[in-house]
Amino acid sequence: MLKAARAEGFFCIHRLFIVDSIAFHNIDKQVAQSNPDCIEILPGCMPKVLGWVTEKIRQPLIAGGLVCDEEDARNAINAGVVALSTTNTGVWTLAKKLL
């Protein structure tokens, strides 16, 4: 679906659920096939894994899912993500504080 969306000129975000090491090691293959503009890594509360992904790929990263508090948000940003995606409104209010 991402390939078709890109062909139509849409900005594409590939959401990747990193549930185990197999999912992590398949990132290269999935990203090469979809060629997204940006990648969202879920859950976003795994700073070590987020750091590994930033070293592995060239696209900007979004941390999404289970970003529950300021510590999660700071850790994700320090790991190299460019954005956070969360429904937790408490984290929304941290934007000015974190940037």
pLDDT tens string 33-72: 999 999 999 999 999 999 999 999 999 999 999 999 999 9
Looking up residue 68, the CATH number of its domain turns out to be 3.20.20.70
Round to whole Å and give the CA distance between 87 and 65. Answer: 8
- 96 pLDDT above the threshold of 90: no
Residue carrying structure tokens 């429904």: 87
- 94 pLDDT above the threshold of 90: no
pLDDT tens string 6-42: 899 999 999 999 999 999 999 999 999 999 999 999 9
Round to whole Å and give the CA distance between 38 and 58. Answer: 9
Residue carrying structure tokens 């090691």: 25
Q: What total of structural domains would you count in the chain?
A: 1
Domain extent for 19: 2-98
